[in-house]
Structure 1
Amino acid sequence: MRAYVGLTRRMRALRHLGELTGWCSIAFLIFVTLFVPAGPAMADKRVALVIGNAAYQHATLLSSSLEDVRIVAAALQTVGFTLSGGAALVDLDRSGLDRAIQQFGRDSADADVAFVYYAGHAVQFHGSSFLVPVDAAVSKEADLESQTLHVGLLLQQLENSASRLNVLVLDACHSNPFEGHGLDGLEPGLAPVHTPANTLVSFAAQPDTAVPVTSDANNLFAMTLGQTIQRPGADVFTIFNELGLAVKRRTAGAQQPFVQFSPIGGRFVFVAAAPAARASTAVASPPSTLPRERAVLYDEDVTDPKGKHYEGTVVWRTEESKASSAQAANRVLRADIEIPERKLRLVLVLRRNSDPSMPASHLAELTFSVPSDFAGGGIGNVPGMLMKSSEQARGTPLAGLAVKVTNGSFLVGLSNVDADRQRNLQLLQQRSWIDIPLVYDNSRRGILAIGKGASGDHAFADVLAAWDEH
C-alpha cells in the first residue's frame, strides 16, 4: 500500500482555494463567473439592483458587505439578470442611494423579474426599517428622515414596476451601528414590511433579531443565496426555503433567515431543470472483466489530524450515449468508483455538451450512492473537480461550476470560454489523478481521489479523440 500522506495536507490545499461551510467566496466567484448552469429559464427580462455598503464614516465598518455583493451579483448575472447601474454598487451615500433606486425603477419598469439585494447597515425605529448610507450620522430621530432611506420607498419602486415577480433581499440584520450616538428607541434587526403584490421579501435573520457582525455569519448568507438561486428546476419558494434551512443548519439555529410574500401567480424558476440522470447509473455495476484502478477516500477525523483513508477501486470505460431532447448522441467517459469500507459508490459520466442552452463546453454528471447509516449522513455538496499529476500532488481546479441537482446527484459544467476550455482539456488529458472534494451533510469534509491508471489513460485518449472529430 502506498504511504499515506495525510488529510491535513489535502485540506490545506483546499483551503488554499478557500472554503467556508462549503466552498469559499473566492473559489465560488471563480466558478460562478465562468459558467451558467443548466441555462436560465428565460425569454423574460430580468433586472437586479445589488448594493453593498461597507465603508461607513460614522458607524461600524462592514468589510464583508463588499464580498457579499460580489458573490450575489455574479450569481444573478449567471442566471440571466442585468445589473442596474452595470455592476454591484458599493459604498453609496444618501444621494447615491436615491439615484440608484430611481435608476432601478426606470430599468425595471418593463421587467418580468425585479430583484433587489442590499448588504450593509439598516436600523429599525418604531416598527419601520431604514437603510443606512455610508455618510449617515444619526444622533436624533430627525436624522433618520434626512440621512437614511425608509425601506418602504424601495418597496414602492417594486410596487410600481410592471414586473411579474419582485424579490427584495435585505442582508442587513446587524447590531445597532449607532450605539452610543444619542438616539434612543432603535430596535434590533428589521421590522416586517408591507409586501406589494407579486413580491417576496427575505431577511438574513428573523424580524427584531440582530446577527453579530462576524465574517462567518455575513458571508454564509450571501454564499448560500448565491448557490441556491442557481439550483436547476427549483422555484422561487423552494429556493428561499432551502436558503433558510441551510443557514439555520450551518449556524445550529443561531441565525434563521425570514421570508414573507404576497400571492405570486405562476411558477418561476431562475434556472431550468437539468437533464434527468439515468436511474440505472447509481446501481449498475461495471463488468467484472474490466481492469480496476486505484481510488482512495480521505475523510476528516476530529480525533486524528491526519484523517482517515479508505481504499477503493475505479473502472474506466467509454460508452456511446443516446440522443435526447437536450443532448446529441456522442461518446462519453464513464467511471464507476467503489469505496467498500464506506459503502460509497459513485458513477461519474463526462460528456461533451451539445445543448446550446447550457453555456458549458463539457458536463460531468456525478451520481452517489451511500447507505442509510452513512457516517456523514449523505453527500451535501461537491464544490468542483481538480486534476493533479500524482496522488500526493496539490490539485488544479477545472474552471467551471458545480451545482446540486437532487440528493446525491450533482452536475459540474466546465467553462466554455476558449482559454478555459483549452486549459481544462489539457488538464484532463495530461494529469493522472482527479480529486473530488466532498462536503457531507454533517458539514465534515472529504476528498475522493481517483487514479486513471493505464485503463483510464486509454479511456481518456479514446474519448478526447472522439470529441476532436466533432
Structure 2
Amino acid sequence: MRGVGRRVRQLFFAGVAVVIALLAGVGSAQANKRVALVIGNSIHEHAPLLDEPAADAKLLAETLSRLGFTLSGGAAQIDLTRQGFDRALAEFKGRIADADVALIYYAGYGLNFGGKNYLVPVDAAPAKAADVEAELRELASMLRELEGPDSRQNVVILDALRSNPFAARGIAGLSAGLVATSVPANTLLSFSAQPASVGQRGPYGHSAFATALAEAFASTDRAGLIETLNRAGIAVKRATAGSQQPLLLAAPLGGSEAVGPPRASPAPVVAEQTSKAPANQPSAGPAPASPPPSAPATALDARTPGLAVLYDEDPADPKGKRYDGSVTWRMDTIKSPRSGQPVPAIRAEIDIPDRKLKVSLQLRRNDDPTLPASHVADLTFVRAADFAGGGINSVPGILMKTNEQARGTPLAGLAVKVTEGSFLVGFSNVDADRARNSELLAGREWIDIPLVYTNQRRAILAISKGPTGDRVFADVFAAWDKSQPVQ
C-alpha cells in the first residue's frame, strides 16, 4: 500500500471483479440461464410426517441459488398439495423456455404402482387403486414438462425412496420406492437409492443423499452434471457403508454446462492513472469495504410487521370481503403458572384498521399438569362498539397453511370461550398429535383463525409469519426444546 490513491483503485477493481462474477454466474448471465424447481414435502395431512424433506429442499435451494440458479417460485416450495404441484410445474415450464439447464429436485414420499412412479402431495389420501392417478403426481407427466430444445440439459433429482405411507390402506400394487424408468432426451434422472430400497438419514437433520448432493454441487471445481451426480452417489455409498447406493439414469445430453461455484473473472487491465486527483476530491468513489452492521433485532421487529387479512362472509358477494391489516411478532417472557419462573412465549399483535378490530395472540407451552394440553393459545379480541359482526361468538380452532391462498390444515385441539372477547385453544397432548402440531406450527408460514360472529356470519383471520415471525418461532421453539416439559 503506497497511499490512498492506490487503495482506492484496489477497492474499485475488486468491486468490478465482484460485479463481473455476479453477472457471470457460472459463465455469462446472458448465455447461461439456469432454473431450478425445488420441492420438499414434509407435513402430510393423511400420512406420517417426514423430518428431512423440507430441510433438504431449503438446503438444496440455498446451494443452487449460490451457483447462479434462478429458483422457480423464488424459494424452495414446501408442502405442496396436488394443486400446488400443478401450479409450481406450470410456472417452472414458463421459466425454462430459454434456459440452458432446467433442474427439478424433489424430497418426500415416492411410490410405484403398475410400473409407474408417483410423487406424493401433502393432501393425498388414496383409499383404493382407482384413486392413485387422481391423488398422486405421476413422474412421467412431470418429465414431459421438460421437453424442449436439444441445447438444454434437464436434471430431475428424486430423494423419494421412503416407506409406503398408505400401506395400511391395503391398496394392491402400491409399493414403496421408485422403479427404473425410461428417460426423455437430454435428461438426467437421479434416484437417491436403488429401486425398492429406502434411503437413510444423514447428519444435521438432512438425508444422507441431500447432504452429499449439496456438497457435490458446491465442490471447488466445475465438474459436468453427470460427474457431479456421480460424486454425490459415491459419497452416499461411503457415508452409509454401502447400504444406500443412488441410481443415475441418463439420456445423451446436449450442451456442455458445468456446475460448481462461479469462476472468478480476472479484473480488466486498466492503465494506471498518473495524474493526481484535485485536493479533497477522491480519484474514484468506491463502495465501503464492508457493509454497515445490521440493525438490532428489536428495531427490525418494529419496522417490519407481517401481513394480516380478515375475510368476511358477505351474502351479497360469494367471494366475501377482504380487509388488509398487519401483525407484529415478538418473543414474550411470561411467568409459569406452575413454577413461577420466567418462560418464553410467542406473541402476535394483529390490527385490522378498516374493521376496527385488534387481536392479541399468545402461544405458550403448557406446564399445568391439570390441563390436558401440550400448548395453549390465548386469543383476545378488542373491537369497536359499532363492530359490524356484533362481536366474536366462537373460534372453532386454528389451522396452518403454506401460503395465503392454500387450504389450511387444522391443529389438533379444542377451543373454548373464556369471557366475552377472550378464547383459549388447548392443543392435544396425544403423542402423535403433539408431534404433528409442532411440525405444523414451526414449518408453515400462515395461520388461519376461523371466526363466528354474534350475528352468525363467518370470517377467517389469516396472519403471516414473515421473516420476523419465522425468527420468533425458531427462537421460542429452540428455547422450549432446551427445557423439559412437565410430565
TM-score (norm 1): 0.50
TM-score (norm 2): 0.48
- Which structure would you say has the larger Rg? 2
Considering Cα pairs closer than 8 Å and 6+ residues apart, tell me whether 1 or 2 has the greater RCO.
1
